[in-house]
Amino acid sequence: MLRPCGDFKRNYSQEEAILQTRFIKVVIPLFVLTLYCLPLFLGDFYLYLLNLVFIAILGAQGINILTGFTGQISLGHGAFIGIGAYTAGVFSTKLGFSVWVVLPAAGCASALIGVMVGVPSLRIKGFYLAMATLALQFLMEYLFMELRPITGGSEGLYLERPSIFGLVLDTDRQFYFLGATIAILATLGARNLLRTRVGRAFISIRDRDIAAELIGVDIFKYKIMSFAISSFYAGVAGALLAYYITVINPQSFSIHLSIDYLAMIIIGGLGSVLGAIYGAIFIVLFPEFLKIWIEFAAQYLPIDEVFPAIREILFGFIIVFFLIFEPEGLAKIWWNIKAYWKLWPFSY
């Protein structure tokens, strides 16, 4: 009996399937199961880092949809996250809504602002669009500070941990399951988006917007949609962050946060769902490894007081390194490793 050899597809549905091989269909459920079992074995510090990773993944998938899929450069992602965080603070603290209302409301509030920012994207792009989103970032920082009756000004807002079905998620272990679930759903949503007409329209705009318009793609509609979806992700990420750290202030959503999220998708790989995950993990965990190195080196060199400067220098160096030597980021490096071992010893 003849059997097919290799990995090939017979139709478009097989080509765009999320779980394409038997191996993946087995590994992914096992990985998710392992992910949910990790809190049984990890301490609070590691759970704290993983919770930050889940929140970062959510925000990174959002900016990846806008910049990686659609090619619209944004330097205001931190502002959208801040809008979601303050919306969560107002809705939960001052209005008393539950987490089931707060999370969608935070996403919708950010999406509304995202649509307003996306309107000029029909006339401007590239460097000029980046400057427009940068202006939004500075404007929102100013409003976060000056709208004291709503945002609390420099003192910020204080939130209580969310409650689900009467269970207050007041520990890292309990919050872990909420963060992991939302991160998984957001990743599946971003991956599935690529398989739809909308996702293909985003990619066509990124690759050649004039050609996309000539073949019938409504440029304005899909750019607005990209801003809305990206901002929605950012708003939910901001709400989760507000619930987790319980204290939000304007300094938490500065331009540095926007740069961090842009670095995530550059290092992880622009236009790659897995790349956004790799980049989020890298950006969250890299400062922790750097702290360990600083503590070790401080025993011999007086460098412990310049940690912020070292962090920024290394971040810049890493971004430039990836842009020059591997523009497709960690996702491409991982793909090359898999391809090598699949073909080994006949790697040619």
How confident is the model over 291-323, as pLDDT tens digits?
777 777 766 666 656 666 777 777 778 888 888
pLDDT band at 121 (very low <50, low <70, confident <90, very high): confident
Q: What is the pLDDT of residue 176?
A: 92
In the numeric block, which tokens belong to residue 224? 């607005």
Taking the C-alpha atoms of residue 172 and residue 46, their distance in angstroms, rounded to an integer, is 9
The stretches of 38-171 forming alpha helices (DSSP H) are: 44-63, 77-89, 99-118, 127-146, 148-151
Among 23, 57, 27, 33, which residue's Cα sits nearest to residue 190? 57
Q: How far is CA 53 from CA 19, 43, 291, in A?
A: 24, 15, 17
- Give pTM, 2 decimals: 0.89
Q: In a 3-state reduction of DSSP, which class is residue 282?
A: helix
In the DSSP assignment, the letter for residue 65 is I
* Residues 67 and 73: beta-carbon distance below 8 Å: yes
What tens digit of pLDDT does each residue of 244-296 get?
998 888 888 989 899 889 989 999 988 889 999 999 999 998 888 877 777 77
Taking the C-alpha atoms of residue 190 and residue 229, their distance in angstroms, rounded to an integer, is 10
pLDDT at 347 over 60: no
Q: How far is CA 71 from CA 129, 170, 197, 207, in A?
A: 11, 39, 17, 8
Region for 152 from its dihedrals, namely left if φ exceeds 0, alpha if ψ lies in -120 to 50, beta otherwise: left
* Residues 91 and 109: beta-carbon distance below 8 Å: no
Contacts of 46 (CB under 8 A, 6+ apart): none
Taking the C-alpha atoms of residue 238 and residue 110, their distance in angstroms, rounded to an integer, is 9
Among 150, 148, 130, which residue's Cα sits nearest to residue 258? 130
pLDDT band at 59 (very low <50, low <70, confident <90, very high): very high
What tens digit of pLDDT does each residue of 129-145 get?
888 888 889 999 899 98
In the numeric block, which tokens belong to residue 322? 């990836």
Region for 72 from its dihedrals, namely left if φ exceeds 0, alpha if ψ lies in -120 to 50, beta otherwise: beta
Q: What is the mean pLDDT of residues 200-216?
A: 88
* Residues 243 and 99: beta-carbon distance below 8 Å: yes
β-pair partners for 157: 248
Of 15-19, 127-131, 181-185, the one with minimum mean pLDDT is 15-19
* Residues 283 and 259: beta-carbon distance below 8 Å: no
